[in-house]
Amino acid sequence: MQIPQIIIPLSMFGLMFGMGLTLTPADFRRIITVPKAIAVGVVLQLLVLPAIGFSLAHAFSLPPMLALGLVVIAACPGGTTSNIVVHMGKGDTALSISLTATATLISLLTLPLWINFSLTSFGQAETVVKMPILKTAVELGVFTILPVIVGMIVRNYRAELVNLEPSISKISTAAMIAALFATVMTGEGSSLSDSAMILVPSAAYVIIALILGYGMPRLAGLSEKTSSTIAVETTVKNLMLSMFLASTSLNSIEVAYASVLIGALMMPIGISIMLMYHLKAKRIEKAGASVL
């Protein structure tokens, strides 16, 4: 086993452990208090957006591994980054955290299903590779749910260690990016020249994710604050999870190309969503004060 293949899984474990340090059982109990918002957010993240990614991959006739990459990033839940963006933008931080926790747990089942379905659909009959759903779910569980649980247990007994989360996340992210870069440079992946093919569908995906992420909650009667929060959760995905899947479970750096491009777009858009919400909330607050 080569060094990147060791570093990437360990980095993923570190990232999810860091997420666990930020969670408490209350984040899961909150599902009962805001069921509509959680349901809309989870359905968008794990069902609607993967279907959009799948449709775009077909519409642009992407090669199998690039097509799969678009579906993988679309099928990933949000991560701690989306929680930070929502918190900084004065959105519904509690809802953001609960959505991330819930979607991460459910993705244990949905991600392997989407990957297997996409492999079958995009692969040519003679080259299609099938991923055992149970094996993939167990692997995902070991590197996502298990470290989250460990992090929550550690926080319960040593609450002060939550202060280490930013450092753990930064180190883990840097290590994973370095390992992925090393994989490309050593020729384990294919040429980056093919990645240009994924540029337009990736941009189209992010725009659609933004429109649906805000529009569907509003149509469901949810508030501006809640809708903006869900929009960030659907736009700012767990980038490192998709890269982990690309380099380990799927063993194809091509699958990560969509993640890299979408990653470059999602942060500015996520921040813009919360900036727009914050400015609008300020205007409403000012208007109310002037009336008084």
pLDDT tens, position by position, 89-110: 778 888 888 888 888 888 888 9
Structure tokens at 171: 């180190």
Structure tokens at 128: 């299609």
> In sequence order, what are the residues at sequence separation of 6 or more whose Cβ sits closer than 8 angstroms to the Cβ of residue 222?
36, 37, 40, 230
Does the residue 187 lie in any domain? no
Averaged pLDDT for residues 1-20: 74
Q: What is the mean pLDDT of the chain?
A: 81
Structure tokens at 180: 């992925």
End-to-end CA distance of the chain: 69
CA angle 237, 243, 245 (to 5 degrees): 105
Q: What confidence score (pLDDT) does residue 125 get?
A: 40
Q: What confidence score (pLDDT) does residue 126 get?
A: 41
Averaged pLDDT for residues 29-35: 78
More confident residue, 52 or 8: 52
Q: What is the domain-level CATH number for residue 135?
A: 1.20.1530.20
Residue 56 above 80 pLDDT?
Answer: yes
Q: What confidence score (pLDDT) does residue 211 get?
A: 95
Does the residue 190 lie in any domain? no
pLDDT band at 133 (very low <50, low <70, confident <90, very high): low
Q: Using CB atoms within 10 A of its CB, is residue 115 exposed (0-12), middle (13-18) or buried (19+)?
A: buried
CA angle 92, 27, 21 (to 5 degrees): 105
Q: What confidence score (pLDDT) does residue 119 get?
A: 86
- Distance, CA of 176 to CA of 240 (rounded, Å): 8
Does the residue 129 lie in any domain? yes
Does the residue 55 lie in any domain? yes
Does the residue 117 lie in any domain? yes
Q: What confidence score (pLDDT) does residue 136 get?
A: 66
pTM for the model: 0.79
pLDDT tens-digit profile of 158-209? 888 888 888 887 888 787 777 766 665 555 445 555 667 888 999 999 999 9
Does the residue 174 lie in any domain? yes
How many percent of the chain have pLDDT more than 70? Answer: 84
Does the residue 191 lie in any domain? no
The tally of domains found in the chain comes to 1
Instruction: Tell me the residue range of the domain where 275 lies.
Output: 3-182+196-291
